[in-house]
Amino acid sequence: MNKKKIRAMLEDIRDRKISVDDALTKLKLMPIDELGFATIDTHREIRQGVSEVIYGEGKSPEHIKKISESLLNSGQERVLITRMSDEAVKLLSESFNDFNFSEIARCGYIGALPEPDGVGRIVVATGGTTDIPVAEEAAITAEVLGNEVSRLYDVGVSGIHRLLSHAEEIMTARVIVAVAGMEGALPSVIGGLADAPVIAVPTSVGYGASFGGVAALLSMLNSCASGMSVVNIDNGFGAGYLAGVINHLK
């Protein structure tokens, strides 16, 4: 159950449309939905402001479908699923008319995107084209959470003029997600240009000595640019989520 439904129920109690005991029974049944293979947290939006998101990797398509149905039945307006398999995409496409999927990000969502209600705009930037799948996971996550998102792709430091040509967009952003592999220098450069929080995302892109993204991760953790945070390797979802939370702080 989401906040709107709880408010409506409280108003029904006030207007004597339902009894206190009936409302208490509903509340007792709300916090979780036991499916046997999963315990659904239906009160997460009430506690955290954001509903539960499904991590699709490793889950069977049928399990993803049933979890999605549980969340929607509890009053959740839309469901985000990350790291989806082709089989899961096929089943959800057949099961939900309003299912949307981004092949490059491997993210899908059921329901329409909300109107952006964040304070400002989130910029998602990548060092190279090969970083786009992780960046799109971040961008779609932020959009599902009700944020306006601008994308700046392939603006890495090997051609710094590409980034500087977007200086105004960077300097007017409320939050910036900077996604890069190789040596992971992009977030530090952006951090030196912007007064907004910068969320750095190392990717596993690079040659042997990049160690699957560890080199970029360490570079970002050791950045001299202030106001920068770092998420895990290839964790576009975590970056998009954090950016969305920051952008909704009034």
Do 86 and 14 have their domain in common?
no
Q: How many residues does the chain have?
A: 250
Strand ranges in the chain using DSSP code E only, listed in sequence order: 32-34, 39-41, 54-55, 79-82, 99-102, 107-110, 121-126, 148-152, 175-180, 198-202, 228-230
- Taking the C-alpha atoms of residue 10 and residue 116, their distance in angstroms, rounded to an integer, is 27
- Taking the C-alpha atoms of residue 205 and residue 202, their distance in angstroms, rounded to an integer, is 9
How high is the pLDDT of residue 1? Answer: 56
pLDDT in tens, 119-165: 999 999 999 999 999 999 999 999 999 999 999 999 988 888 998 99
3-state secondary structure of 62: helix
Do 127 and 215 have their domain in common?
yes
3-state secondary structure of 200: strand
Do 96 and 147 have their domain in common?
no
Ranges of the chain whose pLDDT falls below 50: none
3-state secondary structure of 126: strand
- In this prediction the pTM is 0.85
Do 45 and 11 have their domain in common?
no
Do 186 and 138 have their domain in common?
yes
- How many whole angstroms from its chain centre is CA 70? 20
58 within a domain of the structure (yes/no) = yes
How high is the pLDDT of residue 38? Answer: 83
How high is the pLDDT of residue 27? Answer: 65
Do 66 and 149 have their domain in common?
no
How high is the pLDDT of residue 2? Answer: 59
On whether the CB atoms of residues 201 and 231 are closer than 8 A, the answer is yes
Do 61 and 11 have their domain in common?
no
Structure tokens at 208: 């042997």
186 within a domain of the structure (yes/no) = yes
Nearest to 42 by CA among 57, 22, 27: 27
Q: Which residue has 């944020």 as its token pair?
A: 147
Domain, as residue range, for 49:
31-110
Do 67 and 175 have their domain in common?
no
CATH number at residue 174: 3.40.50.1970
Do 48 and 93 have their domain in common?
yes
On whether the CB atoms of residues 231 and 242 are closer than 8 A, the answer is yes
How high is the pLDDT of residue 23? Answer: 75
Do 86 and 199 have their domain in common?
no
How high is the pLDDT of residue 75? Answer: 80
Specify the number of domains making up the chain: 3
Do 125 and 229 have their domain in common?
yes
Do 216 and 147 have their domain in common?
yes
